[in-house]
Amino acid sequence: MKILITGANGRLGSALCDRLAGTYRVIPLVGEEAPGVHVELTRWGEVHRAVEHFEPDFIVHTAAWTDVDGCARDPQRALHVNGLGTQYLAAASGARGVPMLYVSSNEVFDGTSAQPYREYDPTRPANPYGYSKWVGEQALIRHNPQHMIVRTAWLFAHGGRNFVQTILNAARAGQPLRVVRDEVSNPTYADDLADAIVQLIGTRCWGTYHLTNSGAASRFTFAQAVLEAAGINVPLEPITLKEWLRPSTPPPHAALANVAAAALGVTLRPWQEALRAFIQREAEQHA
């Protein structure tokens, strides 16, 4: 079985390549800045030819423009990369009867619910990034019946730029830490997400899934846990979303509930446990 993985040089994509390579023949597609096989996903002709040439048995689409503030500054590019790029891949895979898994985001919800969102709750994206990911979801549903949509949230990974490393770098540099207390979601370790996706692929049960480490936290609570796990004691000031000016408007309460995957036996450990494992491995890698 051949599995084509887009964004294979990304943190989630590379973790998936590592895990799937032992069982399947992996075809990694990378971004243009990385060495390897590159396909411009925003060009229909290239996408169509790539799917015909590689003849995959399954496609995992992790590639995306994930700069949320960048998407707010340039919503047309966000729509083109995340929306139309996914549509082209969905159309090409659907035409050949190739199943496809698409990694989406909690930001397809507006964050106004007091309860964690379930897989089939109404989606109302509140910013250009969320809208572009929602467009990708809709395109996949329409073009390829053999699909899996995996929504995740607040991903942190080794070697990447993410919230955990931002907090640690600022704390170690002695910079003041002001963190939002009224934005809530699910911190998620990329390695755990990759393991869960591998399990999900094995079920061959098409549909929409929420895969995050279990439990939810505010950005402020998450930052507190990061500092505690790293053994760093610095002042941490809670602020509100209104005080943190940025181009994008994040959903304030967009925690996800894993209902569908859990029913298949696919679950992830609590985010606190995952964070401690991440911090420990970071320390080992830099020892």
Q: Does 181 map to a domain?
A: no
Residue 26's SS3 state is strand
Residue 1's SS3 state is coil
Provide the H-helix boundaries in the chain: 11-20, 44-54, 68-73, 75-78, 85-96, 128-143, 163-172, 190-203, 219-230, 260-263, 271-285
Cα separation, 221 vs 226, in Å, equals 9
In this prediction, residues 121-138 reach a mean pLDDT of 97
Residue 82's SS3 state is helix
CB 153, CB 145: distance < 8 Å: no
| Number of domains present in the structure of the chain | 1
Q: Does 266 map to a domain?
A: yes
Q: Does 116 map to a domain?
A: yes
CB 28, CB 13: distance < 8 Å: yes
Amino acid code (one letter) for 52: E
In this prediction, residues 239-257 reach a mean pLDDT of 95
pTM of the model: 0.96
CATH number, residue 33: 3.40.50.720
DSSP string for 152-219: E-SEE-TTS--HHHHHHHHHHTT--EEEESS-EE--EEHHHHHHHHHHHHHHT--EEEE---BS-EEH
Q: Does 220 map to a domain?
A: no
CB 130, CB 136: distance < 8 Å: no
Which residue range is the domain that position 76 belongs to? 2-158+188-214+256-270
CB 167, CB 227: distance < 8 Å: yes
Would you state the pLDDT for residue 193?
A: 98
Which pair of tokens denotes residue 283? 């320390």
Q: Does 183 map to a domain?
A: no
- Give the residue among 42, 119, 120 at the shortest CA–CA distance from 78: 42
Question: Cβ-count burial of 282 within 10 angstroms (0-12 exposed, 13-18 middle, 19+ buried)?
Answer: middle
Res. 145: pLDDT tops 90: yes
Partners of 101 in the β-ladder: 60, 148
The number of residues making up the chain comes to 287
Would you state the pLDDT for residue 283?
A: 84
- CA angle, 143 then 258 then 115, to 5°: 105
Confidence of residue 34 (pLDDT cuts 50, 70, 90): low
Q: Does 242 map to a domain?
A: no
Q: Does 281 map to a domain?
A: no
Q: Does 287 map to a domain?
A: no
Which residues are known to be catalytic? Answer: 129
Which pair of tokens denotes residue 122? 């109404």
Residue 79's SS3 state is helix
- 48-88 per-position pLDDT tens digit: 999 999 999 999 999 999 999 999 999 999 999 999 999 99
User: Which of 22-26, 39-43, 160-164, 223-227 is the least confident region?
Assistant: 160-164
CB 150, CB 102: distance < 8 Å: yes
**DSSP 8-state class, residue 286:** T
Q: What is the CA radius of gyration of the chain?
A: 19
